Amino acid sequence: MAEVLITIGIIGLVAAMTMPSLINNHRNKALEAGLKKNYSVISQALAMYQAQNGITLTSADIRPRELKSLIMPYFNVLIDCGIGTEEEACIFNDLENSSNSDNIYKTYNNNTLDLGYFDDGQFILTDGSMIFIENSTVENDPRRYISVDVNGYLKRPNKLGFDLFMFQIDKNGKILPMGASGTDYEDERYYCSPTSVSTMNGAACTYKALTDKYYFKNLH
C-alpha cells in the first residue's frame, strides 16, 4: 500500500509540474491558428471588396470613419459593436476620461494599451473573433488599421501580440501585418519588447508572430 501511495504521489507531482506547460502550449497553438485564420479572413474580405467593386481599396481611398462600412459586409458578422467612442460599444474608449474606458486590453508586457487605435469601428464575427478598425476622423490621416482579437474580447490574455494583432492597409491596397517593412509600428525594440514602456508595445509582434516559427512557443 505504501508503494502504491508513493507511486500515486509521484504521478501527481509530475502532473502538477507538467500541466501548466501543456495548458500554455495548447493555448499558444490555438492563438497561432487563430492569427493565421483571421489574417486570411481579413485578406479575403478586402479581395471580395475589390472583386465586387472593381477597385483596390487603398489607404488613400478611404475617407474618415468610412473603412468599417466598406469592409464589414464582407465578414461573417454576429454583433455590430458600433464605434468605440460610443457608450454602447463592446470596448468603450472614453476620450475625455480614460479612467472610465472599458479597457481590458494590455500591451505585450502588461501595461495599459492605448485604445485610440481600436475605436473607429468594432464588430464580432460568428466564430467569436473581434475586429477593430482605426480610421481617424482627421482628414489626410493615412492610418488605416484592422486589428483582431483572435479568441474574442471576453477571453484572456487580451494582450497585444498574444491574442490581439494589428494589420495595416497601405497606399497600394495591401494588407500588411504590423511590424512588416513600411508599416507604422515596425521597430521591435519599442513595439514588440518585454521591456518597452510604449502604450503600443506589441503592435509590431504581428509580423514576428507570422514569420518566427518559435514565436508562439516562447509566449508565457
49-89 per-position pLDDT tens digit? 999 999 999 988 898 889 999 999 999 999 999 999 998 89
Beta pairing, strands 130-135 & 122-125 = antiparallel
Residue 108 in any domain: the answer is: yes
Beta pairing, strands 164-169 & 144-149 = antiparallel
Q: What is the pLDDT of residue 138?
A: 75
3-state secondary structure of 19: helix
What is the residue range of 86's domain?
Answer: 24-218
Residue 35 in any domain: the answer is: yes
Residue 8 in any domain: the answer is: no
Residue 192 in any domain: the answer is: yes
Residue 147 in any domain: the answer is: yes
For the chain, the domain total comes to: 1
Query: DSSP character for 62?
Result: P
Residue 10 in any domain: the answer is: no
Residue 19 has pLDDT above 80, yes or no: no
CB-based contacts of 104, cutoff 8 Å, min separation 6: 91, 153, 158
- Tell me the pLDDT tens digit for each residue of 139-165: 777 899 999 999 999 999 999 999 999
Residue 194 in any domain: the answer is: yes
Is this structure's pTM higher than 0.85? yes
Distances (CA, A) of 69 to 4, 61, 88: 65, 13, 18
Residue 32 in any domain: the answer is: yes
Distance CA 78, CA 130 (A): 10
Q: Which three cell numbers stand for residue 215?
A: 514565436
Average pLDDT, the chain: 89
Q: What is the pLDDT of residue 159?
A: 97
Q: Sorting pLDDT into bands at 50, 70 and 90, what band is 98?
A: low
Q: Which three cell numbers stand for residue 5?
A: 501511495
Q: What is the pLDDT of residue 10?
A: 47
Mean pLDDT, range 33-41, rounded to an integer: 98
Which residues are 175's β-sheet partners? 169
Residue 16 has pLDDT above 60, yes or no: no
